[in-house]
Amino acid sequence: MTPPKPRPAISQADYQRLSQFRYLIRRFLEFSQVQANEAGLTPRQHQALLAIKGFPGGGPVAVGDLAERLLIRHHSAVELVNRLAEAGLVIRDQDKDDHRRVLLQLTPLADDRLAELSAAHLDELSRIEPMLRRLLSRQEES
Residue 124: pLDDT band with limits 50, 70, 90: very high
Place 141 in a pLDDT band, splitting at 50, 70 and 90. very low
pLDDT: which is higher, 90 or 137 = 90
Strand ranges of the sheet holding 61-62, from the earlier edge strand across to the other edge: 61-62, 102-106, 90-94
- pLDDT at site 139: 55
Q: Cβ neighbours of residue 58 under 8 Å, at least 6 residues apart? A: none
- What span, in angstroms and rounded, lies between the C-alpha atoms of 72 and 51? 13
The pLDDT score that the predictor gives to residue 121 is 98
* pLDDT at residue 20, rounded to an integer: 95
Measured CA to CA, the distance from residue 97 to residue 90 in angstroms comes to: 21
Question: CA 94 to CA 62: how far, in whole Å?
Answer: 9
Full set of structural domains in the chain with CATH: 16-134 (1.10.10.10)
* pLDDT at position 99: 87
User: What are 93-112's pLDDT values in tens digits?
Assistant: 998 998 889 999 999 999 99
The 3-state secondary structure of 76-134, one letter per residue: HHHHHHHHHHHCCCEEEEECCCCCCCEEEEECHHHHHHHHHHHHHHHHHHHHHHHHHHH
Give residue-wise pLDDT tens across range 33-77.
999 999 999 999 999 999 999 999 888 899 999 999 999 999 999
How far is it, in rounded angstroms, from Cα 86 to Cα 137?
Answer: 45
Taking residues 121-139, report their average pLDDT.
91
Could you read off the pLDDT of 16-36 as tens digits, one per residue? 999 999 999 999 999 999 999
* pLDDT score of 142: 42
What is this structure's pTM? 0.87
